[in-house]
Amino acid sequence: MDWSEHFPILKQMTFMNHAGVAPASGPAAQALRDYADEAATYAYTQSDWYKQAARVKELAAQLINARGRHEIAFIPNTTTGISLVARGLPWQAGDNVIISNVEFPANRYPWEDLKRLGVEVIEVPQQSDGRIDQEDIIEAINDHTRVVALSHVQFASGLRMDLKPVSEALRPLQRHGRGYLCVDGIQSVGVLPVDVQAMRVDFLSADGHKWLLSPEGCGIFYCNEELADVLHPNVVGWLSMVDATNYSNYRFELLPDARRFEPGTYNIPGILALGKSIELLLEVGIDEVWRRVEHLTTRLCDGLASKGYRVFSPRRQDETSGIVIFEPPVDGLDATSVVAKLKEQNVIIVVRDGKLRASPHFYNTEAQIDRLLETLP
């Protein structure tokens, strides 16, 4: 099926930075317009927006195979979701958190902040080929490990990590209130099949403005239903409470599920837009989305090799993602200048860690991949 009608950006440029800030899908943009019109004309007198928000949670749960909407909370960004875990667990001096040494800052600084409580942050190094060895992570786990915090897909290499062996290595610790797997899913949710139950993920955060094709400022936080009571919300508000709409009954009782992490009123326009994009992705089918992206990135990598560019991203079948990191074929060809020249031709990629990064989505075309290759010096 032709999905191009939902992506007007196709008529404007060859855009391949979905790992950065993606264009909103057509349905998401229409949801914003509809909200603005109704809010301006009727305020909240005729809306059912909060019922629609509950439906968006159901869609998000379906997308990542959560048990239901009770495991989903809305968050303004991935950092907030990670911080819910970093600030919500009962830390003790001597605990440790295991991360890689190449995490996006959103999945680093919330953990580094815990050093003031006597928590150790253990970094597992990335190898020279862009891989992070799961065995290195597992070997770093000890009796004091409270959390392993990893990106499902690494932003500066494109490595997709098999997280299940890590989660299985952590299970024995959970009998003692430790050993949780916290996942930054912003570079995988919306492009790769993500199954939080099969992967045995405890917590996952993903903002909507990348592969979920939605505006900035609205994302999802997944909390395993068995752990909601373990994680104390670091911001408590009226909406966190049982019987929240009984405004004069000051009953301090936190909700028993992920809703406890939503302290106040929702970002309704962001949620409505996010819901429309998730609906679109589910209509396409996330397996089909990934099949298409895998095809496009393989075409890109083959073309890069023929032009002498070196692909840095791991490309084994179980390691690929929507991100392709690559380097110019000759010394002295600066990545920043390459990106600038491409932009002059309406071809959009970016620089990350001194290398070139392209990240096409399912609606991009083979012709656009070829245009990128033709435009590269």
Which tokens hold the place of 128? Answer: 């020279």
The residue length of the chain stands at 377
CA dist 180 and 149 (Å) reads 8
If asked whether residues 160 and 241 sit together in one domain, one would say: yes
**Burial of residue 132 (number of CB atoms within 10 Å: 0-12, 13-18, 19+):** buried
If asked whether residues 11 and 79 sit together in one domain, one would say: no
What are the CA-CA distances from residue 154 to residues 15, 317, 319 (Å)?
20, 16, 10
If asked whether residues 62 and 145 sit together in one domain, one would say: yes
Other CB atoms within 10 A of residue 139 CB: 11
If asked whether residues 115 and 230 sit together in one domain, one would say: yes
What is the pLDDT, as a whole number, of residue 308? Answer: 93
CA dist 370 and 373 (Å) reads 5
Check if the beta carbon of residue 8 is closer than 8 Å to that of residue 342.
no
What are the CA-CA distances from residue 328 to residues 7, 102, 273, 324, 351 (Å)?
30, 22, 38, 13, 12
Q: Given 283, 311, 341, which residue is the final one in a domain?
A: 283
What is the pLDDT, as a whole number, of residue 330? Answer: 80
Which tokens hold the place of 167? Answer: 């989660």
The number of distinct structural domains making up the chain is 2
If asked whether residues 46 and 139 sit together in one domain, one would say: yes
- Which CATH number fits the domain that encloses residue 240? 3.40.640.10
pLDDT tens digits along 318-359: 999 999 999 998 877 899 999 999 999 999 999 999 999 999
Q: Given 267, 283, 299, which residue is the final one in a domain?
A: 283
Residues forming a β-bridge with 160: 153
Model-level pTM? 0.96
Report, as ranges of residue numbers, the positions in the chain whose pLDDT lies below 50.
Answer: none
What is the pLDDT, as a whole number, of residue 50? Answer: 94
What is the pLDDT, as a whole number, of residue 331? Answer: 74
What is the pLDDT, as a whole number, of residue 298? Answer: 98
Q: Please check whether residue 22 lies inside any domain of the structure.
A: no
If asked whether residues 259 and 293 sit together in one domain, one would say: no
For residue 125, give its domain range.
Answer: 29-283
Q: Please check whether residue 23 lies inside any domain of the structure.
A: no
What are the CA-CA distances from residue 46 to residues 35, 36, 41, 43, 49 (Å)?
11, 13, 10, 8, 9
What is the pLDDT, as a whole number, of residue 244? Answer: 93
Check if the beta carbon of residue 267 is closer than 8 Å to that of residue 79.
no
Assign residue 10 a region: left if phi > 0, alpha if psi is -120 to 50, beta otherwise? alpha
